[in-house]
Amino acid sequence: MFDVKKEMDFSSAHEGLIVGVFDKSEKFSGPLENLDKQFEGQLTELVKAGDISAKYKNINKVHSFGKIGSKRIWFVGLGKEKEFSFEKLSEALGKVFKAVKGSKLQEIAVFLDSFTSEKVDELEAAHAVSEAFALSTYQFNGYKQKSNEPEKKVEQVTVYSENYDLEDIKASLTVGHAFGKGTNSARTLVNIPGNLLTAKDMANYALELAAKYSFEVEILDKEEIEKLGMGAFLAVNQGSTEPPKMIVLKYQGKEQWQDVIGLVGKGITFDTGGYSIKTKAGIVGMKSDMGGAAAVLGAMEIIGELRPEQNVVAVIPSTDNMISGNAFKPDDVITAMSGKTIEVLNTDAEGRLVLADAVTYAKHHGAEYLVDVATLTGGVITALGLHTTGAMTNHETLYEQVLEASMEAGEPIWQLPLFEKDKERVRNSKVADLNNSPGSEGHAIVAGAFIGEFTEGTPWVHLDIAGTSTTSREHDLGPAGATGVMTRTLALFVERFEPIK
């Protein structure tokens, strides 16, 4: 798929050569000087005339008239160098890769040096190329009898550099590609409808990952879940004909099983709301209520590929939330694995219930740090909109590590408070230790507070992706539908993780 080469004269034949242009002067300078030479300075003339635009994300296709080996050059504007960033580079690359795909090219070359700047070095640029390529060309084919898969897609990308060590660039391309592919796997899991992705299917998927990457794996079935007393998880599954699965994957990258990171993902394969039933508009799209689980599985795929020196346990409680004569009801009182009793006030607040037992179980497997990811509340959309993932924590230092990873991954998160008064609201029940729905004011916060009750002192970050896990609009780095959000953040967080003393 990706190939790296040193080439000074651009003589190799390609269907298209991708070149970045910074908005700095009217003259081609730096890495582009050499390319301009092949055209006897004509490219500079085109820039002057405005036929090649350096405006951010502008794309100009120029025929090479046999001056170089590539048939055409696709110039992509990168804007002002001062305002440049990895994130901006990724989007610009995504846009041009989509255009190339639309033009049915099967083979392209990228002139890496033209995308580097003081802000983004060659290794980051290489990562951006392979990651953005995977993300932007991702497509979910769906189930139409007539496939809408294009007959032609780009199969080969050659990355040219005049100035850098090719082995290093190759390594970065591999990493970026793993990040892109892991995110795409998460997207696919979310895009598959609930009838075709049950808890059992999710467990089978985890088994495949485990086999491929030699993870230790444990899939708890209903009987084992009962034996362990996971009453909160079981309550949510009670109305379903599909048995629940508690999915556990372990990756050990250190000699000893210590400093263990627990990644916990909400895996509701479909959320009807239960007896606190959703509206007919609100229920559509609820196949995506396992976006947290998908992000965790996508991150595990990246971890399996890159094998960092870290220890990770992934825990995914998976079930649908259905209605029947057996279903749990408002007013029911249930007992979680930790022993805490919960008064159910709303069966649609099911995510925090399954996560309560998953967090307890992650600790049981030795997790000393916890990050949970969940499509948890409509409230987070009201608070933060559709671009920003909501975060809560009981440990600022751990939060900083997650925040840094998210910024680097280009997946913005924003912290919401967790004050004593918020915690009091979930502890307010006449009949039980906790209630699962203290009212709609600030309900992203109380949902987080509820999960926090089960961390019992373990450093923890909660990520609410209800607004960010899917999008109704096509974007430069992917189509409408699942975004795979937090896959890259989790993987980067794990890779960079430093145990907290």
**Of 413, 350, 387, 412, whose CA–CA distance to 467 is shortest?**
387
**Of 30, 22, 80, whose CA–CA distance to 52 is shortest?**
22
Residue 443 touches ligand BES, criterion: CB under 6 A: yes
**Of 423, 274, 412, 297, whose CA–CA distance to 351 is shortest?**
274
User: In the annotation, is 307 catalytic?
Assistant: no
Residue 271 touches ligand BES, criterion: CB under 6 A: yes
Q: State in angstroms the smallest separation of the CB of 480 from ligand BES.
A: 15
Cα angle 195, 197, 198 (rounded to 5 degrees) comes to 80
Residue closer to Zn ion by CB (options 271, 464) is 271
CB–CB of 67/37 below 8 Å? Answer: no
Residues 432-461 that bind Mn ion (CB under 5 A): none
Residues touching ligand BES: how many (CB under 6 A)? 16
Residues 259-278 that bind Zn ion (CB under 5 A): 268, 271
Q: State in angstroms the smallest separation of the CB of 466 from Zn ion.
A: 8
Q: State in angstroms the smallest separation of the CB of 132 from Mn ion.
A: 34
Phi, psi of 121 (to 5 degrees): -85, 180
Q: Is residue 91 classed as helix, strand or coil in its secondary structure?
A: helix
Phi, psi of 94 (to 5 degrees): -55, -45
Q: State in angstroms the smallest separation of the CB of 288 from Mn ion.
A: 12
CA distance 228 to 113: 56
Residue closer to Mn ion by CB (options 256, 279) is 279
> Which residues, listed in sequence order, are joined to residue 83 by a DSSP beta bridge?
none
Amino acid letter, 292: G
**Of 217, 269, 290, whose CA–CA distance to 247 is shortest?**
217
Residues 336-375 that bind ligand BES (CB under 6 A): 346, 348-351, 375
Residue 464 touches Zn ion, criterion: CB under 5 A: no
Residue 36 touches ligand BES, criterion: CB under 6 A: no
Residue closer to Zn ion by CB (options 250, 352) is 352
Site for Mn ion (CB under 5 A): which residue of 113, 201, 343, 348?
348
Residues touching Zn ion: how many (CB under 5 A)? 4
Residues 82-101 that bind ligand BES (CB under 6 A): none
Site for Zn ion (CB under 5 A): which residue of 289, 343, 453, 495?
289
**Of 467, 430, 431, 462, whose CA–CA distance to 449 is shortest?**
462
Q: What are the strands, taking DSSP E only, across 294-442? A: 311-321, 333-335, 341-343, 369-374, 389-393, 413-415, 434-435
Q: Which stretch binds ligand BES (CB under 6 A): 17-25, 156-164, 252-260, 377-385?
A: 377-385
**Of 51, 61, 62, 58, whose CA–CA distance to 77 is shortest?**
58
Residue 180: which of ligand BES, Mn ion, Zn ion, none does it interact with, CB under 5 to 8 A by kind?
A: none
Q: Specify the DSSP class assigned to residue 188.
A: H
What does 456-484 look like in DSSP terms, one character per residue? TTS-EEEEE-TTTSEESS-BTTB-SEE--
Q: State in angstroms the smallest separation of the CB of 273 from Mn ion.
A: 5
Residue 351 touches Zn ion, criterion: CB under 5 A: yes
Could you count the other beta carbons within 10 Å of the beta carbon of residue 143? 9
Q: State in angstroms the smallest separation of the CB of 431 from ligand BES.
A: 19
User: Which position among 98, 181, 287, 352 bears the catalytic label?
Assistant: 352
Residue 271 touches Mn ion, criterion: CB under 5 A: yes
Q: What residue is closest to ligand BES based on CB?
A: 378
User: In the annotation, is 352 catalytic?
Assistant: yes
User: Which position among 57, 67, 200, 278 bears the catalytic label?
Assistant: 278
Residues 454-473 that bind ligand BES (CB under 6 A): 466
Residues designated catalytic? 278, 352
Residues of this chain that interact with Zn ion (CB under 5 A) are 268, 271, 289, 351
| Residues near Mn ion, by CB under 5 A | 271, 348, 350
List contacts with ligand BES (CB under 6 A).
Answer: 271, 273, 289, 346, 348-351, 375-379, 437, 443, 466
